[in-house]
Amino acid sequence: MLLEGKKGLVLGIANKRSIAWGIAQAVSREGARLAVTYQGERLEENVRELAESLNDPLILPCDVSKDGDLEALADAILSGFGGLDFVVHAVAFALREELDGEFLNTSREGYRIAQDVSAYSLTAVTRRMVPLMESRGGSVVTLTYLGGERVVPHYNVMGVAKAALEMSVRYLASDLGPKGIRVNAISAGPIKTLAASGVHGLSKMLEYHRTHAPLRKNTEQAEVGDVALFLVSSLSRGVTGEVIHADNGFHVMAMAE
Ligand code: NAD
């Protein structure tokens, strides 16, 4: 098994459709033991229920916008696991009203929230987990979307946050490379999850991807899970600062047939 004896942290499970859950399944299939988090009591039951199928998980609360939660998370993982081999950051949030209409109308508060939860949190989480990973190498993986590279209608403020997230991946990769810690992102094609449902016009987007991606299908949770498995395993030991597209090739197309 690729991850025998390895310990990982997965942030971002809300329900069984979550990309984070697809990743948790892929990495635990290969032997990893996981700490999984839930954002607030509202999601605790969902996460506990799903986590029953994992191998002796730690189940911990964490709101990434709260520094106190991040400190407590690092302490709990240190006492539960004694260290960490990888971190999966699959967290994003923007106010619903910012994901419709024009980017021009983005509010100051809407911009701040999207950047804080969806981009800055990668740095905030990584900083707290570095001491746990330092002595054993480590791999950090985050989730991004094509709307951070090019304009996707209605993705708006989240696209700007994803651009900041992707650049954070490169700066973190540079900072942490000398410690043997790698930082990469997966740019996933659209998948109908709770977060994606907040983007206006999602079903049109899914249809467009299915008919225009070179592989002529929509991205599946398990496909993203397997790319994450590669990125947290030693198979990718020479890869850092990278954004890998798991989108059935959609991003290479400039024009429809
Ligand atoms: P999801 O709704 O299942 O997951 C989003 C998660 O973010 C939830 O678990 C939610 O609890 C968590 N979250 C939001 N605010 C938080 C906070 N303050 N503290 C802690 N957790 C918080 O949706 P998903 O699509 O699986 O999203 C996971 C990641 O994948 C996101 O970064 C998203 O942008 C990215 N992504 C999604 C798609 C897609 O089409 N679904 C495509 C590309 C990238």
Question: What are the counts of helices (DSSP H) followed by strands (DSSP E) for the chain?
Answer: 8, 7
The pLDDT value recorded for residue 198 is 87
Quick one: which of 241, 204, 192, 251 has its CA closest to 19?
192
Please say if the pLDDT value at position 119 is more than 90: yes
| Catalytic (active site) residue 145 | yes
Residues in the chain: 257
- Average pLDDT of 193-200? 92
Give the sign of the dihedral formed by CA 48, CA 50, CA 55, CA 60: negative
Rounded to the nearest angstrom, the gap between the alpha carbon of residue 54 and the centroid of all alpha carbons in its chain is: 19
- pLDDT for res 37: 98
Through-space distance between the first and last CA atoms of the chain, rounded to whole angstroms: 42
Q: Which residue out of 111, 145, 171, 208 is catalytically annotated? A: 145
Mean pLDDT of 167-183: 98
Residue 199 confidence (pLDDT): 86
pLDDT above 90 for 135 = no
Nearest atom in ligand 1 to 118's CA: 32
Residue scoring higher pLDDT (101 or 31): 31
Q: Mean pLDDT over all residues of the chain?
A: 97
What is the fold of 7-248? Rossmann fold (3.40.50)
Nearest CA to ligand 1 atom 19: 63
Sequence spans of domains, the chain: 7-248
